[in-house]
Amino acid sequence: MSISRADIEKVAVLARIKVDGEQVSALEKDLGNILDLVDQLSAADTDSVEPMAHPLDAVQRLRPDVVTETNQRQAFQSIAPATEDGLYLVPKVIE
Amino acid sequence: MQWDIVIGLEIHVQLATKTKIFSGSSTAFGAEPNTQANAVDLAMPGTLPVPNEQAFRYAVMFGLATNAEIGRRSMFERKNYFYPDLPKGYQTTQLAQPIVGPGHVDIDLADGSSKRVRIHHAHLEEDAGKSLHEDYHGMSGIDLNRAGTPLIEVVTEPDMNTAEEAVAFAKKLHSLVTSLGICDGDMSQGSMRFDVNISLKPKGSETLGTRTETKNLNSFRFMEQAIAHEVERQMDILEDGGTITQETRLYNGDRDESRSMRSKEEANDYRYFPCPDLLPVEIDDAFIEDARARLPELPDARKARFKEQYGLNDYDAGVLSGDARLATFFEETMAHGKDAKLAANWIQGEFSARLNAEEKSVAESPISGAQLGALVTRIADNTVSSAGAKKVFEALWSGENDNVDAIIEAQGLKQVSDTGALESMVDEVLAGMPDQVAQYQGEEDPKKRKKMLGGFMGPLMKASKGQGNPKLFNEILVRKLGG
Chain B: give the shortest CA distance to residue A44, in Å. Answer: 21
- Does position B417 have pLDDT exceeding 80, yes or no? no
Q: Is A18 on the interface with B (CB under 8 A)?
A: no
> Which residue would you say has higher pLDDT here, B419 or B50?
B50
In this predicted structure, what is the pLDDT of residue B166? 97
B269/A77 touch (CB, cutoff 8 Å), yes or no: no
Q: Is A76 on the interface with B (CB under 8 A)?
A: yes
Q: What is the pTM of this model?
A: 0.82
- Does position B201 have pLDDT exceeding 90, yes or no? yes
Instruction: Round to whole Å and give the CA distance between B75 and B79.
Output: 13
Q: Which domains does chain B have, with CATH numbers?
A: 3-289 (no CATH), 299-410 (no CATH), 419-480 (1.10.10)
Most confident of B161-170, B333-342, B412-421, B435-444: B161-170
Nearest to B34 among A59, A64, A88 (CB): A88
For B311-318, what is the mean pLDDT? 92
B96: confidence class by pLDDT, cuts 50, 70, 90:
very high
Instruction: Round to whole Å and give the CA distance between A67 and B20.
Output: 9
In this predicted structure, what is the pLDDT of residue B234? 96
pLDDT digits (tens, 9 = 90+) for A59-77: 999 999 999 999 999 999 9
pLDDT digits (tens, 9 = 90+) for B282-305: 999 999 999 999 999 999 999 999
| Residues in chain A, total | 95
> Which residue would you say has higher pLDDT here, A36 or B453?
A36
Q: Is B50 on the interface with A (CB under 8 A)?
A: yes
For B16-42, what is the mean pLDDT? 96
For B401-422, what is the mean pLDDT? 82
In this predicted structure, what is the pLDDT of residue B475? 83
Nearest to B143 among A62, A76, A87 (CB): A87
Confirm if B71 and B51 have CB atoms less than 8 A apart: no
For B400-424, what is the mean pLDDT? 82
For B450-464, what is the mean pLDDT? 82
SS3 B398: helix
Q: Around B156, how many Cα atoms within 13 Å sit in the side-chain half-sphere?
A: 28
Confirm if B463 and B425 have CB atoms less than 8 A apart: yes
Q: Is A34 on the interface with B (CB under 8 A)?
A: no
Chain B: give the shortest CA distance to residue A51, in Å. Answer: 10
Chain A residue closest in CA terms to B89: A15
For A35-49, what is the mean pLDDT? 90
Q: Is B248 on the interface with A (CB under 8 A)?
A: no
Other beta carbons within 10 angstroms of residue B216's beta carbon come to: 16
pLDDT digits (tens, 9 = 90+) for B465-479: 777 888 888 888 888
Sign of CA dihedral B134, B138, B144, B149: positive
Confirm if B37 and B28 have CB atoms less than 8 A apart: no
- Does position B263 have pLDDT exceeding 70, yes or no? no
User: What are the backbone angles phi and psi of residue B120, rounded to the nearest 5°?
Assistant: -70, -50
Enumerate the residues of chain B whose CB falls inside 8 A of the CB of residue A10. Answer: 269
Nearest to B17 among A53, A65, A85 (CB): A65
In this predicted structure, what is the pLDDT of residue B149? 97
State the Cα torsion B313-B319-B322-B327 to the nearest 10°.
-80
Nearest to B56 among A58, A62, A69 (CB): A62
In this predicted structure, what is the pLDDT of residue B243? 92
Q: Is A14 on the interface with B (CB under 8 A)?
A: yes
B434: confidence class by pLDDT, cuts 50, 70, 90:
confident
> What stretches of A1-95 show up as alpha helix (H) in DSSP?
5-14, 21-42, 73-77
Chain A residue closest in CA terms to B284: A59
Confirm if B401 and B407 have CB atoms less than 8 A apart: yes
B381: confidence class by pLDDT, cuts 50, 70, 90:
confident
Across B218-304, the runs of DSSP E, i.e. the strands, are 248-252, 257-260, 273-274, 281-282
Other beta carbons within 10 angstroms of residue B247's beta carbon come to: 18
In this predicted structure, what is the pLDDT of residue B52? 98
In this predicted structure, what is the pLDDT of residue B265? 45
Q: What is the mean pLDDT of chain B?
A: 91
